[in-house]
């Protein structure tokens, strides 16, 4: 009977549409099942070229409203085209003010200047290569084409990797401009030892020269530099001011003309994107992201017009609370630990690792979870600190040892509600009173 039912079902379907099962099979043989992507791939698009043009990584052929900064940097780097070493440069400015785009633009222009390559630009993002070893290892491997000869990610001493970098630089026989983007992040994490060595490397080079361009968001990071490093590194300084709404509109119109079909933008879309981005210290990245996401939103709905409503939808999507998403996706042990901190903070805002662990262990027992060791809890506290969810500061008691003082960095009520929505912690409210009795 089980084998007959599918057959009867096919007869019923075939009869409903007026053809036999044989005819149905023939139709199925010539008409493959539609692909789930067909409705998106085959729909009309409002983008006429690569939408990467609306991303910050795209370097256009011109940078509106950055002509003065381009001219300043070009005047400094031009010395290298004559065989001399340019001054080191520090470039400051808030996020989205065109610092990286301007430096990359200068790099592209310098490579087009002469057939004989006189300048080698090495770009390093110090958020990705965030240690002194990592920065030098990345620069060394930029010179090496054979993967088998590349320096390893770890295992070498700093002296060995730096010596190899000097050798590779010397072999080039030309000016090397090292661009250290997000330099303030590197200094805060790893100190200024690498900058000291790079700033005096020309004393050891004979055939080549090296200059540094440091790009930073924080104007105050130079206060953490040794006086000798500060004077050598900041021979020239360029400060990028934020864009205003009018300047952002010009940038968006240039990019929109390259990427969108004619007539797809309502007249108030670009002014709205510019105004919203100008409210946040004139961030061009923000304006471009709003325009791109608004366009993709309209495209998914198979519309041929981008409206102000699409921009507002894009704003809501971009501003999705990242803290809430981070909290929801934490491992359950981290959630229990964070809930323990919340319970304790209702009595005292500041607590030590020992205080937290006592509440954590009792809460684990209440929800039926095996508690971790206190050492592992210390590691989890460090991870939550890195995420910005709490602040964990090490406090020394002399011979009495050291401990971490823990303080929440996110709103208690909202965090508690998010954590209480977890299946494991639904019993939190019932166990709350019982756990509170353990507090000293």
Q: Where is pLDDT greater, at 428 or 71? A: 71
Give yes or no: residues 26 and 100 share one domain.
Answer: no
Q: Are residues 84 and 216 in the same domain?
A: yes
Q: Domain check: are 236 and 365 in the same one? A: no
To 10 degrees, what angle do helices 428-436 and 412-420 make? 120
User: How many domains, in total, are found in the chain?
Assistant: 3
Percent of the chain surpassing pLDDT 70? 83
Q: What is the pLDDT of residues 102-130, one digit of tens each?
A: 999 999 998 887 556 789 999 999 988 88
- If we measure between CA atoms, which residue out of 255, 192, 197, 264 comes closest to residue 46? 264
pTM for this model (two decimals): 0.69
Give the strands of the sheet with 351-352, arranged side by side: 351-352, 402-408, 390-396
**How confident is the model at residue 220, as a pLDDT?**
86
Whether 207 and 77 map to the same domain: the answer is: yes
Q: Identify whether residues 343 and 207 lie together within a single domain.
A: no
Predicted local confidence at residue 386, as pLDDT = 82
Mean pLDDT over 150-170 rounds to: 94
Last residue in a domain, options 240, 257, 286: 240
CATH (domain of 422): 1.10.10.10
pLDDT at 122: 95
Tell me: do 335 and 221 sit in the same domain. Answer: no
Domain-located, residue 56: no
Assess if residue 175 is contained within a domain.
Answer: yes
Is residue 303 domain-resident? no
Is residue 18 a part of any domain in this protein? yes
**192, 74: one domain:** yes
CA–CA distance, 376 with 370 (Å, rounded to integer)? 13
Q: Tell me, yes or no, whether 146 and 234 share the same domain.
A: yes
- Domain final residue, candidates 224, 240, 256: 240
Q: Does the residue 422 lie in any domain?
A: yes
Q: Confirm whether 50 is domain-assigned.
A: no
41 domain residue, yes or no: no
Query: SS3 for 215?
Result: strand
Contacts of 360 (CB under 8 A, 6+ apart): 336, 337, 340, 371, 377
Q: How far apart are CA 294 and CA 311, in angstroms?
A: 5
What is the rounded CA–CA span in Å between residue 415 and residue 25?
57
Under 8 Å between Cβ of 178 and 122:
yes
Same domain, 16 and 78: no
User: Do residues 16 and 124 both lie within one domain?
Assistant: no
Buried b or exposed e, range 366-380, using 16+ CB within 10 angstroms? bbeeebbeeeebbeb
The pLDDT of residue 3 is 47
d(CA 84, CA 96): 32
pLDDT of 267 reads 94
pLDDT recorded at residue 13: 43
Tokens 């599918």 label which residue? 6
Residue finishing a domain among 177, 206, 240: 240
Beta bridge partner(s), residue 177:
121, 211
CATH number of the domain at 118, please. Answer: 3.40.50.300
CA pair distance 200, 337, nearest whole angstrom = 48
Residue 222, domain extent: 67-240
Do 342 and 412 meet the contact criterion of CB atoms below 8 Å apart? yes
Q: Is the pLDDT of residue 194 over 60?
A: yes
| Residue 415 · residue 408 · CB < 8 Å | yes
pLDDT, mean of residues 63-75: 95
Buried b / exposed e over 277-298, threshold 16 CB at 10 Å, is: bbeeebbbbbbbbbbbbbbbbb
Which of 30-44, 92-106, 335-349 is most confident? 92-106
Q: How far apart are CA 141 and CA 161, in angstroms?
A: 10
Classify residue 229: in a domain, yes or no: yes
pLDDT for 325 beyond 80:
no
Placement of tokens 């989890």 in the chain: 380
The DSSP annotation for 308-370 comes to HHHHHHHHHHHT--HHHHHHHTS-HHHHHHHHHHHHHHTT-S-EEHHHHHHHHHHHHHHHT-P
CA distance 252 to 368: 55
What's the pLDDT score for residue 91? Answer: 96
| Whether residue 222 sits in one domain with residue 141 | yes
- The verdict on 111 and 162 lying in the same domain is yes
């Amino acid at each position: 009977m089980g084998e007959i039912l599918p057959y009867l079902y096919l007869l019923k379907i075939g009869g409903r549409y007026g053809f036999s099962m044989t005819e149905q099979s023939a139709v199925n043989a010539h008409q493959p099942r539609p692909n789930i992507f067909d409705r998106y791939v085959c729909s009309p698009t409002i983008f006429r070229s690569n939408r990467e043009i609306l991303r910050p990584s795209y370097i256009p052929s011109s940078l509106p409203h950055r002509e003065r900064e381009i001219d300043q940097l070009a005047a400094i780097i031009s010395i290298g085209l004559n065989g001399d070493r340019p001054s080191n440069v520090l470039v400051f400015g808030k996020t989205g003010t065109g610092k990286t785009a301007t430096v990359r633009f200068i790099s592209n222009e310098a490579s087009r200047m002469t057939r004989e390559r006189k300048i080698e630009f090495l770009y390093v993002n110090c958020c990705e290569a965030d240690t002194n070893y990592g920065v030098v290892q990345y620069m060394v491997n930029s010179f090496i084409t054979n993967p088998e000869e590349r320096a390893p990610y770890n295992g070498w001493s700093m002296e060995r990797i730096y010596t190899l970098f000097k050798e590779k630089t010397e072999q080039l026989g030309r000016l090397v401009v090292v661009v250290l983007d997000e330099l303030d992040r590197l200094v805060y994490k790893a100190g200024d030892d690498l900058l000291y060595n790079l700033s005096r490397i020309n004393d050891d080079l004979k055939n080549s020269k090296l200059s540094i361009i440091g790009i930073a968001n924080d104007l105050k990071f130079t206060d953490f530099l040794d006086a000798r490093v500060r004077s050598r590194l900041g021979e020239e300084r360029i400060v990028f001011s934020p864009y205003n709404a009018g300047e952002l509109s010009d940038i968006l119109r240039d990019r929109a003309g390259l990427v969108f079909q004619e007539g797809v933008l309502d007249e108030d879309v670009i002014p709205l994107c510019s105004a919203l981005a100008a409210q946040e210290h004139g961030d061009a990245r923000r304006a471009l992201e709003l325009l791109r996401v608004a366009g993709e939103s309209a495209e998914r709905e198979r519309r041929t017009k981008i409206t102000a409503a699409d921009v507002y939808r894009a704003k809501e999507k971009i501003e999705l609370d990242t803290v809430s998403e981070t909290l929801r996706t934490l491992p359950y042990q981290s959630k229990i630990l964070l809930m323990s901190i919340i319970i304790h903070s209702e009595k005292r805002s500041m607590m030590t690792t020992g205080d937290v662990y006592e509440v954590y262990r009792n809460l684990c027992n209440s929800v039926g979870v095996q508690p971790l060791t206190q050492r592992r809890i210390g590691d989890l506290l460090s991870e939550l600190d890195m995420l910005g969810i709490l602040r964990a500061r090490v406090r020394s008691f002399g011979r009495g040892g050291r401990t971490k003082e823990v303080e929440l960095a996110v709103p208690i009520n909202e965090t508690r509600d998010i954590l209480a929505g977890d299946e494991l912690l639904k019993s939190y409210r019932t166990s709350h009173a019982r756990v509170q009795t353990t507090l000293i």
